[in-house]
Amino acid sequence: MKKALLVVVLTISFILNVNAQRGRESSVPVDVLSSEEIAKQEPIDVSDLIPTCGPATGNGKIVIRGYVAGGVSGLTKSGFGFSDMNNGYDSSPIFSWNVGADVKLPLFDCDKFGFRTGLSLQTNGAEFSMGDFNDYNYKIKLIYVKAPAVVEYDFTEKFNLYSGLKFGYLLSAKQDYDGGSDDIKDQIKSIDFGGVLGAEYKLFCNDKISLGAGLNYDFGLSDINDYDGADKNKNSGITAFFSADF
């Protein structure tokens, strides 16, 4: 019994001695700095570790963009959707187009926010049906010069969302029907006012140019009719566009 206890004690003592020897071999001397030496150390710059607005298209610079767009446009009472009843007639959207240029200015000293404004030539309108069997159709075609005022947010270098307002000045207003066309500019208000929502994705980017595509939704906020007894009609439209930033 005593021999067995002695063997256990010797074994434990041997293991402890081996571990102690390994600890001495693996230890690395550490220089301890005095308070004076610590005070002389250069401060660590952590600004690069703090998240910022990050790089985005434009990198805080002015960006000029040109674009062309095509889609559908309608006249509605609410400014949303395309199939409201107008003056007792059924209305449906028509093809519309939009071409223009704008400029993006940086906002808030941050690359991710930008303000866009510019000028575009844009069409609006709708097709109307009337009669017992909807056998009489005519189209309202409006052409405006429009100026957006939108705030854009760049989620990444390639994807952005934007929203804001759009102001329009009427250039032409036609009512087309079978066999003819009438000028109705005196029945439409000269100034149009609405909101805009959109998204854009950059298909190609380099230091000089970027090419993108996106969707744009316009919704009317003001009545366009300018004659007695008219229902309220507002412009609305959805367009897909291609753009080039310089």
Query: What CATH number is attached to the domain comprising 215?
Result: 2.40.160.20
pLDDT for the residue numbered 112: 86
- Give the residue-averaged pLDDT of 35-51: 53
Taking only the tens place, the pLDDT of each residue in 181-213 is 999 999 999 999 999 999 999 999 888 889 999
Please count the other Cβ atoms lying within 10 Å of the Cβ belonging to residue 198.
21
Residue 130 lies in a domain: yes
Mean pLDDT, the chain, whole residue set: 78
Please count the other Cβ atoms lying within 10 Å of the Cβ belonging to residue 34.
8
Total of domains in the chain: 1
Going from the C-alpha of 54 to that of each of 8, 48, 51, 111, 244, the distances in angstroms are 65, 11, 8, 6, 22
Q: What is the token pair recorded at 162?
A: 């934007």
Task: State what percent of residues in the chain have pLDDT above 90.
Answer: 48
pLDDT for the residue numbered 197: 97
Q: How far is CA 9 from the centre of its chain?
A: 76
Question: What are the phi and psi torsion angles at 33 (to 5°)?
Answer: -85, 145
Taking only the tens place, the pLDDT of each residue in 111-168 is 789 999 999 999 999 988 775 555 668 899 999 999 999 999 999 989 999 999 999 9
Residue 15 lies in a domain: no
pLDDT for the residue numbered 4: 44
Domain residues for the domain of 226 are 63-245
Whose tokens are 């607005």? That residue is 53
Residue 232 lies in a domain: yes
Residue 38 lies in a domain: no
Please count the other Cβ atoms lying within 10 Å of the Cβ belonging to residue 63.
19
